[in-house]
Amino acid sequence: MRHTLLSRFLLRRSARRPWAIAALAPVMAVLAMLLGPSTAHAADVQITPAAGAVTASTHDGNEPGNVVDDDYDTRWSGEGDGAWLQLDLGATMTVTHIKLAVHKGTTRQNVFQLQYWDGSSWATVHDGRTSGTTTGLESFDFDPVQTSKVRYLGHGYTGEGEGDWNSLTEVEVWGSPGDGDDDDGGGTKLPSDVLDLSNWKVTLPIGDDEDPTEIFQPELDTYSHDPFFLVPDPGDAVRFRAPVNGVTTGGSSNPRSELREMESGGGDEIEWSSTSGTHTMTVRESFTHLPEEKPEVVGAQIHGGDDDVTALRLEGSKLWITKGDTTNHHLITDDYTLGTVFEIKYVVSDGEIKIYFNGELETTIDHSDSTNYFKTGAYTQAHCGNSSPCSDDNYGEVKIYGLDVTHGDDQGSDQTQAAVRHNWGAPLPISDEFDYTGPVDSAKWATPSGDFGGTEGCWEGHAGNGRRCAKNSTVANGMLTMRGEANGDTGWLRQKRDAQYGRWEIRSRSENIGSSGGLYHALHLIWPTAGNRLENGEYDWVEYSNPDAQCLTAFLHYPESPSDKKERRDLCPVNMNEWHNFAFEWTPEALVGYIDGAEWFRLSGGADSDRGNIQSMPSGHLNIQLDNFTGDGGLRPAVFEVDWVRVYE
């Protein structure tokens, strides 16, 4: 049964005073008649974890576990814009709403986002404020999501003054256990909507004995198979499943649902040399199910000739890197939990294979051969002869959230640039290395004009706040510096190139240089040529609300959306005081964001009665902005520095 805030408050207090339960019965009966049953989440239950599963980015001695102790007199407090409180659910569950109780909630409105982990990054499901009228629990509803952890991302409070403290006395998570994977049958997305499968084929555990079904390009672009190769809800990963009774290849007794690397275009099988060039595969994935009796699955591998060179192999809770026939060559962890998303990266050059796990080098394997290729998916290391039951319900399973392969002859190339990793070619002439001194190049950039406020080269600022001025964007020492001043004057640039589709990469960083005041917002965005984002869309592919931020956000607005429908993506931690390479790829197929060469979001389609497909902006151009959201004064001075801007077809 789900109770209102008042009835729940009474129940909490009566639980501490057993003699009060009988006295409260008439009150509860009246409440039931007056308020009626709540149907918003009729089947939901509370799935809040225990204190040991609650963590935070910071606290002042008021610890994170206090929010689940059923005591409004204790709290978690963390200082700073971007301070977070995380609740680990322990397994994938369906979450429908979260309840919050705010410290000093009758005089403060907390400013916050509620987010869930989508397997690769934090996705926002609610962005707003608390009411400022109660210290009791307030409920924040959203569309159901499947996740293993949720978090509160705080941005301070308004009301009783204004501050950057984030304080909660209680938090409750509501929904239902389980992610519904057994019933999902695949969503509306295809595997090719989630992963770039241009240069792959897939081998499935179906077909004739020792002749399993293989799907090649171009058929692979429109192919999925339930249950062995599909995109389950919430649509952020491709699921590979191989049962112990599946069809196998002639050279193996074990079944697989697995991708095999191909030549460009997917027509022929590729082979490459470990002693010539640099060859890289990065996979973001999770193991999600193991077979009975022999709980072993391979999730990625390098193959050479007729045998595997090295593989990533899970045996129970032990995650191993293999070397040839040595299955237990290097132990990554002996405590892997199913569903935990990680990144595995292979870098092959000069006769060596360097293997990284979550960015850390784990081992280096010497290997010289010219018949190598990459594979990834679910290669179940069990069959009906050593695992029971012999049925489709006994299987190995892997989910892949991201997949990237590069081959380059230049071993010194910078793989932190998306343009290098993905071979975007030479930058267009409109690109700018900022290797000059003075104002920005007027042939490449438009700056504010007019004399708003009595200063030449200024116009009104964002939403009427302060001014955007040409004087606030200058070039020196090999970089562009955009300055936001305490009086609200700041910079704005528009690149003089309008097009539908393109690729952009920008190396930038930012920093607050004043001690206090309202915060500037830093942005790289594509603004529609014709304006009117409700009609034409807007792609804010880099945006953050504090020059010292530790998180990266993107807001992608749909075209043809009178109600301004948009997608939000968040990536943490990212230190915005440090140099990063931010890239954006806009094609007829998708919008893709990269940071330091690695993909961090991909969006496509989504058209309905209130919006067009997200990638269908008619035409647009690049803007670089340091926006004032505060007013005509009282800003915290900041700088937005850009090393270079490169544009590609």
- Domain residue extents for the chain: 1-39, 42-179, 186-411, 438-648
Higher pLDDT, 164 or 7: 164
Residue type, 7: S
pLDDT (0 to 100) of residue 184? 45
The hierarchical CATH code for the domain 186-411 is 2.60.120.200
Q: What pTM was computed for the model?
A: 0.47
How far apart (Å, rounded) are the C-alpha atoms in residues 460 and 92?
Answer: 48
- The fold for domain 438-648 equals Jelly Rolls (2.60.120)
pLDDT (0 to 100) of residue 163? 84
pLDDT (0 to 100) of residue 188? 67
pLDDT (0 to 100) of residue 162? 78
pLDDT (0 to 100) of residue 10? 36
Higher pLDDT, 299 or 161: 299
| CATH classification number, 42-179, choose in 2.60.40.1180, 3.40.50.920, 3.40.1190.20, 2.60.120.260 | 2.60.120.260
User: At which residue do the structure tokens 């309905």 appear?
Assistant: 608
pLDDT (0 to 100) of residue 33? 37
Mean pLDDT, residues 81-91: 88
Share of residues in the chain with pLDDT > 90 (%): 74
How far apart (Å, rounded) are the C-alpha atoms in residues 285 and 401?
Answer: 6
| pLDDT higher than 80, residue 111 | yes
Confidence of residue 416 (pLDDT cuts 50, 70, 90): confident
Per-residue tokens: 354: 């360097």
Confidence of residue 408 (pLDDT cuts 50, 70, 90): confident
Q: Around Cβ 160, how many Cβ atoms within 10 Å?
A: 12
Phi/psi at 623 (5° precision): -120, 145
Answer positive or negative: Cα dihedral of 118, 122, 128, 132: positive
Across 628-645, b (16+ Cβ under 10 Å) vs e yields: bebeeeebbbbbbbbebb
pLDDT digits (tens, 9 = 90+) for 345-396: 999 998 999 999 987 889 999 999 999 999 999 999 999 999 999 999 999 9
- Do 186-411 and 438-648 show the same overall fold? yes
Mean pLDDT, residues 528-553: 95
22: left (phi over 0), alpha (psi -120 to 50) or beta: alpha
Higher pLDDT, 159 or 595: 595
H-assigned helices in 318-361: none
Share of residues in the chain with pLDDT > 70 (%): 90
pLDDT (0 to 100) of residue 645? 97
pLDDT (0 to 100) of residue 178? 62
| pLDDT higher than 90, residue 39 | no
Range with lowest mean pLDDT among 30-44, 130-144, 183-197, 551-565: 30-44
Phi/psi at 625 (5° precision): -140, 145
How far apart (Å, rounded) are the C-alpha atoms in residues 512 and 59?
Answer: 23
User: At which residue do the structure tokens 């008021």 appear?
Assistant: 62
pLDDT (0 to 100) of residue 15? 34
How far apart (Å, rounded) are the C-alpha atoms in residues 341 and 359?
Answer: 13
| pLDDT higher than 50, residue 611 | yes
Per-residue tokens: 141: 């509803």
pLDDT (0 to 100) of residue 119? 65
pLDDT digits (tens, 9 = 90+) for 149-187: 999 999 999 887 778 899 999 999 999 876 544 444 444
**Range among 49-58, 89-98, 387-396 with highest mean pLDDT value:** 387-396
